[in-house]
Amino acid sequence: MDWLTILVPFLSLLIIIAAGFAVYQKDLILAIIGTSAISVVLSIFFYILQAPDVALTEAAIGVALSTIIFVITIKKTKRYEE
Amino acid sequence: MRKVIAILLLAVVGYYILGTLLNLPFGQKATGVGKYYLDSTIKETGTVNTVTSIVVSYRGFDTLGEVTVLFLAATGLGAILFDKKGKKRSLQNASLIVKTSSKMIYPLTVLLGAYVFVHGHLTPGGGFQGGAIIATGTLLMFMAYRSFETNHTALTIIESLAGLTFVSIGISGLIWGYSFLQNILPLGTPNELLSGGIIPLIYIAVGFKVGAELTTVLDTLLKTIKG
């Protein structure tokens, strides 16, 4: 049995859970952690799909830079969603 | 009533999207252009990394456009958040563990970023990725040491020189009598660091430019936080 047959459904489930968490979480900082978790899993997916270039970009920009920009924005506005 | 209509519309849209997606072959070649690139990259550009050869050589003009878009975004952000007084970040330091570990990780991150963009034609990655990695390392230092400052004049000079290098490499193709961004240097042996003609030079310039730009963006944004 190929290890990808176990890994891919598991990662897909993980990405859906993280997306749901990001949508339904009222604390926006935690929601942003959810989106960056999506980026982590997505970069693993890109690596599995043999696109290491895109995986590097997703890891650097999706996980680190866009997260910090969102955090700064929330720091300047409101932390909790009504 | 409105909900019923919305669900009906969603069902129609979803049906057609599903139909399209089911008809698309997954992981198969839709056009012949991919095979052309894979076959002729090493012969024509001397780079082993096909993605790099497409981004910098075959579609080099688009990359120049992307770099310009990033430059305009950074400039716009700087213009919107401009403040005459010259803001400073708040002076609260992070904890000792964070400070010590970021001091150790920061040089390694910069080294990794430099490696990624210097070896852009041999290994996965390139200018954009390397620059983003360097900016991430600087971000770590910004967050650990609130007194860590970057020299904005130096960053601007690096950015301008890198952009100028990219454009002048492109124009030198015109001067030698070929098209814009045409390779004018010898291709060398594939799989060596000094191969691929102008591709490594362009990616090094892009790496410096993206790193400097993203660092400036982060610095500008972090300085807007009070307290």
Tokens 């650990």 locate to B144
User: Residue B109: pLDDT band by 50, 70, 90 thresholds?
Assistant: very high
User: Considering only alpha carbons, which residue of chain B is nearest residue A64?
Assistant: B136
Is A52 near chain B, with CB under 8 Å?
yes
**pLDDT tens track for A39-55:** 999 999 999 988 899 99
Whether A7 is in a domain gets the answer yes
Which residues share a beta bridge with A69? none
Tokens 């015109």 locate to B174
Phi, psi (rounded to 5 degrees) for B187: -75, -30
Which residues share a beta bridge with A27? A80
- DSSP, collapsed to helix, strand or coil, labels residue B59 as coil
Mutate to test the interface with A, among B53, B117, B136, B142 (most CBs of A within 10 A): B136
Task: Give dist(CA B217, CA B74) in Å, integer.
Answer: 6
Task: Give dist(CA B81, CA B65) in Å, integer.
Answer: 24
Residue ranges with strand state E in chain B? none
Facing A76 at nearest CB: one of B125, B126, B225: B225
Q: B49: which chain A residues are within 8 Å (Cβ-Cβ)?
A: 53
Helix axis angle for A66-76 and B199-222, nearest 10°, is 20
Is residue B122 within 8 Å of B193, Cβ to Cβ? yes
**pLDDT tens track for B61-87:** 999 999 999 999 999 988 888 776 666
- This prediction has a pTM of 0.85
- Looking at residue A78, the DSSP 8-state letter turns out to be -
Mean pLDDT score across all residues of chain B: 88
Lowest-confidence range among A50-54, B84-88, B104-108, B129-133? B84-88
B78-104 mean pLDDT: 80
pLDDT at B23 > cutoff 80 = yes
pLDDT at B227 > cutoff 60 = no
Q: B139: which chain A residues are within 8 Å (Cβ-Cβ)?
A: 64-65, 68
Structure-block tokens of residue B15: 């049906």
Facing A52 at nearest CB: one of B124, B133, B221: B124
So where are chain B's domains? 2-222
Closest to B207 (Cα-Cα) out of B32, B67, B53, B9: B67
Closest to B43 (Cα-Cα) out of B201, B183, B190: B190
Collect all residues with Cβ–Cβ distance below 8 Å to B107 and sequence separation of at least 6: none
User: Residue B168: pLDDT band by 50, 70, 90 thresholds?
Assistant: very high
Structure-block tokens of residue B157: 């000079």
User: Considering only alpha carbons, which residue of chain A is nearest residue B55?
Assistant: A53
User: Residue A28: pLDDT band by 50, 70, 90 thresholds?
Assistant: very high
Q: B222: which chain A residues are within 8 Å (Cβ-Cβ)?
A: 72
pLDDT at B36 > cutoff 80 = yes
User: Residue B6: pLDDT band by 50, 70, 90 thresholds?
Assistant: very high
Residues B148/B152/B156/B157 CA torsion (nearest 10 deg)? -90
The residue segments making up the domain with residue A26 are: 3-76
Closest to B180 (Cα-Cα) out of B64, B74, B22: B64
Say how far residue B58 (Cα) sits from the centre of its chain.
17
User: Residue B90: pLDDT band by 50, 70, 90 thresholds?
Assistant: low
Collect all residues with Cβ–Cβ distance below 8 Å to A12 and sequence separation of at least 6: none
Is A6 near chain B, with CB under 8 Å?
no
Chain A / chain B CB contacts < 8 angstroms: 43
Task: Give the number of domains in chain A.
Answer: 1
Whether A81 is in a domain gets the answer no
Lowest-confidence range among B67-71, B86-90, B97-101, B126-130? B86-90
Whether A45 is in a domain gets the answer yes
